[in-house]
Chain A
């Protein structure tokens, strides 16, 4: 399985930008980079995904390195509601029978937001 590496935890002050890094040095050309987050006592929530180009949505921005071996999730202004575990996930197509599209979660980065 393609693996990702993230810091175990990070802290940010409220209303400041947060840059959450992810390394995925074994990524292949067809792998999508997805980010999910899990707030306390909730199921994971989709944040953003991309393939090669940087992506923006209402929640965050995703900056993908030119060689695609790393990416950074950017929260432009952290709020207390952004305190969660953030998972960087590679969506890998494998060809065993009908194909495999599951999410493989690592440990993620626990983001704490300081008021």
Chain B
């Protein structure tokens, strides 16, 4: 079974631009979560989607948004990029969304904002 895939793997943008990152979960998984990882803040939760509905959102500004499609694929969008948005963006999928479910992470998208 294929793992979680994220595209693109690397991205360079400039301040003020917007970016869309894509995540394809493991086949059959309905929950997709997004995380941001920076050296200073570590791994921080962005949002979680389950069956096309956003179930929870972390403490990030409204410039960060996401969506999930009917095939469970998910995208996240960051508008008006800032230098501080440079980070590794990780997507994780799980079969359901329970507290005992395992989350499977993708390799991440490395975003650099210049």
Please give the residue numbers on chain A whose beta carbons come within 8 Å of chain B beta carbons, in ascending order. 30-32, 36, 42-46, 49, 51, 87, 91-93, 96-108
Contacts and interface: CB of A to CB of B under 8 A. Distances in A.
Interface of B: 4, 31, 33, 35, 42-45, 48, 50, 53, 55-56, 58, 90, 92, 97-108
B100 A98 contact: no
Contacts of B50: 98
Contacts of A101: 31, 48, 55-56, 97-99, 101
8 contacts: A36-B103, A91-B100, A97-B56, A100-B48, A102-B33, A102-B48, A103-B33, A103-B45
Contacts of B108: 43
Contacts of B92: 43-44, 103
Per DSSP, chain B at the interface is strand
B105 A45 contact: yes
Nearest to A32: B99
A110 to B, nearest CB: 12
B53 A46 contact: no
B55 A100 contact: yes
B91 to A, nearest CB: 8
A49 B45 CA distance: 19
A79 B99 CA distance: 30
Interface centre among A32, A96, A97, A100 (most CB of B within 10 A): A100
A43 B31 CA distance: 17
Contacts of A93: 99
Contacts of A92: 99
A108 B108 CA distance: 19
